[in-house]
Amino acid sequence: MKIIFFAVIISMFFSACSEKKAPVLAPEYLFHEEGQKVITSLINDKIGTISIIYGNEGAFRSALDPVKNHVSGERYIMVTWKQKPMPHWYGTDMNGPIISVETVITRSDQAGRVSFDYSSALCNGKLLDSKDKDHNHRARFIADQPAAVFP
Amino acid sequence: MIVIIGVAMIIFVPLQFSSPDLGNPATKKEISLPTEVKAILERACYDCHSNRSQPEWFDRIAPVSYMVGHDIKEARSRLNLSEWDRNPPAVQQLLLWEMVNAIEEKKMPLPRYLTIHPNAAVSPAELAVLKQYVNTLPGRNMTDTSPIVRSDSNKRMPLVPVALNGIHYFSDFKTWRIISTTDKYDGGSMRVVYGNDLMVQAIKSKKLPFPDGAKIVKVVWGKQHEDKDGNILPGNFQNVQIMIKDRKKYRSTEGWGFAKFDGLKLKPFGKSVAFATTCINCHRLLVSESDFVFNIPTK
């Protein structure tokens, strides 16, 4: 009885050996900058992108504030990746390569009015055209997103 | 020659008396599906994943019958289309997507079964029919329209939630690096996946399997309605899922310790420690090539 079972198991082993396709890891798709926390994430299926908005402490505080009183010194970084189908699971899209990194910094003038400095670059620092001709509008879009709910 | 046949008979004939019974238990609540979808599954999957197996004569002969008997028992315990109502509706939908993926990844029907039952193969056109069907399930395109509830940050959690296998919830993942971000449109959720330093280092050095101490945390939200520019933002927080690598401690689940905490109260998921088996079963079936992890950045 044991021998039979053994033979069956062994034969199963041989037939179960299918070709293994090892994945090629792509660390260049990771984004990192010290001291940044995740404010929220954003999917856009119309243009096929997926993004994360990060912020420094000031930006994070403002993202949690329902009335969004921006103050000087907030710094936001919106990283956008191209979407791609997740390998091995039909039903999910995930991030592929990074396509842009947009930065917004708030400053205030002597009268206390807050303005938004906007710049857009590839992750290698190459400047890009903004997604929105109106930089101020784009900056406000990034800086005004409410924080995603975390436990 | 005669000696060989003689020896073969001595081994073969008595084997037949101990051959397992490949009978069928009663069908309880059969899955209901559009006819064309059902026909594909009946031909390709029912021999193992239902109470309506129709083994061929050669399946009934030992030692093949042992293998067949073992597969049927295991397959029914995982997914039985004749006892479909044992699964809650959300799980039924997930299983249907998993079935499509099992076929697409060529894991099902079991390759060893296909070699002797070539007519069970699912053609690309049939797979397209199945894909079309899962895209009509209610979880697809589900949006979160309820008002967003935030945790009361002034109220501290009285106790750290602990999963049934002893894994404690922790919040320091919030300072980790993001290894992936996803749109899980099959269930209407979006996710951000974090990795600790060991995990990120392993990705950077392009080394698999991941080392002991590697940790992954996935945060899941519902999806809000798309705005006019196509932007979709996270809705309510749904759950946190954790994988911790420790080859020794979590040997029974391929070296990964699993945990899931639901809702803002972070209620530990599952009814018994066996919950982790259901987690690894799906990860093992589909991503054994990448150390059982889906969310890794790959070319």
Whether A27 sits inside 8 A of B151 (CB atoms) is: no
pLDDT for residue A33? 84
DSSP B170: -
pLDDT for residue A10? 41
Q: What residues contact A3, with CB distance under 8 A and at least 6 apart?
A: none
The whole-model pTM stands at 0.91
How far is residue B52 CA from its own chain's centroid? 23
| Segments in chain B below pLDDT 70 | 1-15, 17-18, 153-156
What are the extents of the domains in chain A? 36-143
Q: Nearest 5°: phi and psi at B118?
A: -60, -25
pLDDT for residue A12? 47
Distance separating alpha carbons of residues B76 and B51, to the nearest angstrom: 8
pLDDT for residue A35? 84
Q: Nearest 5°: phi and psi at A107?
A: -135, 155
Q: Look up the ipTM and state it.
A: 0.91
Instruction: Count residue pairs from A and B with Cβ separation < 8 A.
Output: 170
Model confidence at A17, pLDDT cuts 50, 70, 90, reads very low
Q: What residues contact B7, with CB distance under 8 A and at least 6 apart?
A: none
In a mutational test of the A interface, the residue from B190, B261, B264 whose CB has the highest number of chain A CBs within 10 Å is: B190
Average pLDDT (A35-64) is: 95
Q: How close A62 gets to chain B, by Cα (Å)?
A: 15
What chain B holds in terms of domains, given with CATH numbers, is: 14-134 (no CATH), 172-290 (3.50.70.20)
What SS3 state is found at B198?
helix
Q: Which residue of B has its CA nearest to A43?
A: B232
Place of tokens 């750290």: B160
CB B297 within 8 A of CB A26: yes
Partner residue opposite B232 with nearest CB, options A4, A32, A43: A43
Distance separating alpha carbons of residues B131 and B121, to the nearest angstrom: 16
Whether B190 sits inside 8 A of A41 (CB atoms) is: yes
Distance separating alpha carbons of residues B133 and B156, to the nearest angstrom: 45
Give the CB-side neighbour count of residue A84, counting CA atoms within 13 A.
Answer: 17
Q: Which residue of A has its CA nearest to B156?
A: A151
Instruction: Tell the burial category of B201 from Cβ atoms under 10 Å away from its Cβ (0-12, 13-18, 19+).
Output: middle
pLDDT for residue B219? 98
What SS3 state is found at B244?
strand
B186 part of contact set with chain A, CB < 8 Å: yes
Model confidence at A139, pLDDT cuts 50, 70, 90, reads very high
pLDDT for residue A14? 45
Peptide bond preceding A23 in cis form (omega within 30 of 0): no
pLDDT for residue A2? 47
pLDDT for residue B203? 97
Partner residue opposite B182 with nearest CB, options A40, A44, A92: A92
How far is residue B239 CA from its own chain's centroid? 17
Q: Kindly state the tokens that stand for B3.
A: 């000696």
Residues of chain B neighbouring A28 (CB-CB closer than 8 A): 297
Distance separating alpha carbons of residues B74 and B70, to the nearest angstrom: 6
Q: What is the 3-state secondary structure (H, E, C) of chain A?
A: CHHHHHHHHHHHHHHHCCCCCCCCECHHHCCCCCCCEEEEEEEECCCCEEEEEEECHHHHHHHHCCCCCCCCCCEEEEEEEEEEECCCCCCCEEEEEEEEEEEEEEEECCCCCEEEEEEEECCCCCECCCCCCCHHHHHHHHHCCCCCCCC
Summarised one tens digit per residue, pLDDT across range A82-130 is 999 999 999 999 999 999 999 999 999 998 899 999 998 875 556 666 5
Cα-Cα-Cα-Cα dihedral sign, residues B151, B153, B155, B158? positive
Q: What is the largest CA-CA distance in chain B?
A: 86
pLDDT for residue B151? 80
Q: Alpha carbon of A18 to those of A21, B47, B112, B252: distances in Å?
A: 9, 22, 10, 22
More confident residue, A17 or B160: B160
Place of tokens 């639901």: B262
pLDDT for residue B266? 96
Average pLDDT (A56-85) is: 94
Q: Nearest 5°: phi and psi at A111?
A: -80, 0
CB A100 within 8 A of CB B192: no
What SS3 state is found at B74?
helix
Residues of chain A neighbouring B131 (CB-CB closer than 8 A): 90
Q: How close A42 gets to chain B, by Cα (Å)?
A: 5
Distance separating alpha carbons of residues B75 and B296, to the nearest angstrom: 29
Q: Kindly state the tokens that stand for B122.
A: 């699912």
pLDDT for residue B158? 72
pLDDT for residue A68? 84
Whether B18 sits inside 8 A of A1 (CB atoms) is: yes
Distance separating alpha carbons of residues B109 and B77, to the nearest angstrom: 16
Distance separating alpha carbons of residues A46 and B229, to the nearest angstrom: 8
pLDDT for residue B155? 67
pLDDT for residue A145? 96
Residues of chain A neighbouring B294 (CB-CB closer than 8 A): 86-89, 92
Distance separating alpha carbons of residues B263 and B244, to the nearest angstrom: 21
Whether A149 sits inside 8 A of B223 (CB atoms) is: no
The share of chain A scoring above pLDDT 70, in percent, equals 79
